Structure 1
Amino acid sequence: MKKISILILALVFISCKSEAQQDKENAEEYKIQKTESKWKAELTNQEFRILRKAETERPFSSPLNDIKQPGVFVCAACGNELYETEHKFDSGTGWPSFDRAVENSLAFSSDRKLGYQRSELLCGDCGGHLGHIFDDGPKETTGKRHCINGAALEFIPKEKS
C-alpha cells in the first residue's frame, strides 16, 4: 500500500504543469511587457480581470455586441488591431464573435479551467486574454468562432471617405 501511495504521489508531481512558469516563458514573447501594477493602473478593474487574470465577462453585457458599422476592434490594453467588423457575426452566445482575426494579431494558448482543454486567444502584442476559439462558427466562411470578451476590446470606427 505504501508503494502505491508513493507511486501515485510521484505521478501527481510529474503530471503537474506549472502555469506560473508557462506565463513567465510566454511573457518574454510579447513586445509589450509591463508589471502587474502598471497594467492595474492603466486598465479598468474589469479590463484588468479579463485581460491579465483571464476572467470572463457576463454574457450579453458588452455594448460591442451590437456594433455593425465598419471599423476595427483593438486590444483594450495595447491598441493592437485584432478584428474587423466585416468578420463579426451574431453567434447568439452573448459575446462578440468573429470568424477570423487580423492576420498575425493573435497568440494562442490553452487552458483547462473548465476541466477540459480549450484553445485560448491572446493579444499577440501584449499577451492579454481575449477569449477562446471554437469550431462552431459559420460553415460558409472559416467554421471558427472567436468568442471574445467585449471588455478586452475597444472599437475604432472606419473613417468615412
Structure 2
Amino acid sequence: MTFCSRDSKEVYRDHFVPGTYCCSQCGYELFSSRQKFEHNTPWPAFSETIHKDSVTKHKEFGCFNAFKVKCGKCGNPLGHEFLKDGPDGKSRF
C-alpha cells in the first residue's frame, strides 16, 4: 500500500525512524514503521495496518487498480492503495 500527499509535498517516503504512523486528524493508529518498505514511487508504502479497522478502502471511480484509503475512525483521506504494489508485487489487505 502506498500513500500520496494531497499537496505533493510528501515528507514520509524516506522516513524510517521506528514508531507509529497515526491519523493527522484524530490520532488513530494506522501503521507501524516495522511494516514500512522502500518503494520506487514518491510515496511512503506499508504492508499492513496496526488494527484491522485502521483504514477503510473505497474503489476509485474510473480507475480499475486503485482504492481511496481513509482513516478507519474519522474518515480522513490518506491517499490511495494501488493493486500489486506490496514488497512482493501483491496487494496486502
TM-score (norm 1): 0.48
* Other-structure match for 2:63: 116
Counterpart mapping for 1:99-110 below 5 A: 99-103=47-51, 104-110=53-59
**Contact 1:83 / 1:101 at 8 angstroms: preserved in 2?**
yes
Larger radius of gyration: 1
Q: Which runs of 5+ in 2 are unaligned?
A: none
CA drift at 1:145: 6.8
**Which residue, out of 72, 79, 83, partners 2:27?**
79
Q: Which runs of 5+ in 1 are unaligned?
A: 1-54, 147-161
Counterpart mapping for 1:9-158 below 5 A: 56-58=6-8, 61-103=9-51, 104-112=53-61, 115-117=62-64, 118-134=66-82, 135-139=84-88, 143-144=90-91
Provide runs of 4+ in structure 1 moved above 4 Å.
none
Counting matched residue pairs gives 86
Q: Higher relative contact order by CA 8 Å / sep ≥ 6: 1 or 2?
A: 2
Name the structure where strand makes up a greater proportion of residues: 2
**Contact 1:65 / 1:96 at 8 angstroms: preserved in 2?**
yes
Tell me the amino acid that sits aligned with residue 74 of structure 1: C
Name the structure where helix makes up a greater proportion of residues: 1
TM-score (norm 2): 0.77
Aligned-residue Cα RMSD (Å) equals 2.2
